[in-house]
A and B are shown apart, each in its own frame.
Chain A
């Protein structure tokens, strides 16, 4: 059987399993194991466990449970409510202020964590209930957080960019800088769409527009400052190159728990156990999907599915923009099914020479590729952010989250188009700070 036929069968099998409603992780894992056994015999059983384990045993992944724990500690203390109270007092005259501050918070927090699911978990845990409570439509509340969380793989420091840098032998520092302005641009696009969609949904911003005095605004700050100081400390530690995201996350988690205990007097075992229990629930779910994605990626590359598609695109002698369109469609489809890191590891070494030969900048391409991967994070069947949101807001059906996230996919596509017309958005800052790329 050729790679295309076996690849199609594999995807079909996955879709059928997912349709039963079974856990994503187990469906992904099962089709991968079956595909590997069918193509390579039972001997492959010797490396299934090793691959799954190896996919999880990485220090950079440690950041995920740690940041979930941090968000969980903040969320179960009244700090979250205090923060939203403060943000509301400062931003309530702005249309859609709370959603705007949520997207802003997403882009800042994702910059800290470099992890989209962790951002969704940390901000969404506080943001979604607050927005739903204020009467925002559930689809906009969840969609904006899901989309805002994807900024984490674009805005530095980003694990995805690090993996791209390693697999294509490009400068990680330059990649980080290339992601800054496009990240700001996407944040702005998300904010603009959120305002428009709230208006379309008939949400009345005026109803919330109570005027707060400067005194009231300032009074809201002291309760927020300890929380903000942790955020600033994490920023300082990361951008100062003092520690890795996982270390910063670990320290942040501890500080947040200590703050919750000291300031909010949450010293009873009950709330503390609940913090760890919800952290475990979310992080186990995410880690199992990551491990299974590792198996899935292994199966696809063993069957030469991803490689064949990449080579087929390379064989088409077409106009560079048509080529780019094909590459984008391919990345988009790959991103629907594979986690960003797996897509990058398997395709970047093949795609990059083609892209560079066609006259595109490799750092600009890293940004385009990453935005494609961001789309994959909020589209089924492996849209990790959707499931993270589903995990932290179990009352809101997945369909509503999907519906809310779709317009933001279009925002990202618009972002890619803008980048095609103005590549300087990605290449200007690294050129300015680090000189011309070789």
Chain B
């Protein structure tokens, strides 16, 4: 169990670093695009799509590490008001529901990705990027998010919490 949590958390953190790099790349490419288009008067081909898909990829791949930091906010009025066993139950129910969503979205995203890959779909632009490339982060990132959710729920047994603003890192539980 401990090995699972440590491994998945490390993967999620790696995803977080990759997402930050994608974000930085999107900023640099946007500026390069402005430079080429407005200062050199040239035309740009791949930049707009690159920026859009980098941001989308950063969203999906960065999602698991944001979960570790409890960045996905919720309305925690009721669980905090209840406290004790009631709060624990709500956290478990909410956790299972969130896990269900992640699994459904990852699965559906995988169907979309798989179709794009096997049917050789491309984006309807001059760049003609194979569509599976921007789609891959969806099943990958959300799949990892599901794994991370399992890890976070395992931590519940050791006194962790799923509520926003009260992140419990594994190190703190030792």
Contacts and interface: CB of A to CB of B under 8 A. Distances in A.
A joins B in a complex:
yes
A320 interface: no
A254 B34 CA distance: 12
Residue in B27, B58, B78, B113 with the greatest tally of chain A CB atoms within 10 Å? B27
Contacts of A281: 66, 69, 71
A390 B109 CA distance: 29
B55 interface: yes
A125 B107 CA distance: 36
A30 B101 contact: yes
Given A30-B100, A53-B138, A390 B66 contact: no
A49 interface: yes
Contact of A398 (B63, B77, B104): B77
Contact of B74 (A21, A52, A65): A21
Contacts of B91: 20-21
A199 interface: no
A201 B98 CA distance: 40
Contacts of B97: 17, 20, 22, 26-27, 30
A9 to B, nearest CB: 16
B31 A62 contact: no
Contact of A23 (B59, B73, B111): B73
Contacts of A52: 105, 108-109, 138
Interface residues of A, number: 62
Interface of A: 17-27, 29-30, 33, 45-50, 52-53, 56-59, 61-62, 65-66, 69, 242-243, 246-247, 249-251, 253-254, 257, 273, 276-277, 279-285, 287-288, 291, 380-381, 387, 390-391, 394, 398-399
Interface of B: 16, 19-20, 23-24, 26-28, 30-31, 33-34, 38, 48, 51-53, 55-56, 58-59, 62-63, 65-66, 69, 71-80, 90-91, 93-95, 97-98, 100-102, 104-105, 107-113, 134-135, 138-139, 162-165
> 4 closest A-B pairs (Cβ-Cβ)?
A250-B30, A20-B94, A22-B94, A49-B109
Given A45-B111, A47-B108, A280-B66, 15 more contacts: A21-B94, A22-B98, A23-B98, A25-B72, A33-B105, A46-B111, A59-B51, A62-B52, A251-B31, A257-B27, A281-B69, A284-B19, A284-B71, A288-B59, A394-B164
17 contacts: A19-B78, A20-B91, A21-B90, A22-B95, A23-B74, A24-B74, A48-B105, A49-B109, A49-B112, A49-B135, A52-B138, A56-B55, A58-B52, A59-B51, A66-B26, A249-B30, A253-B27
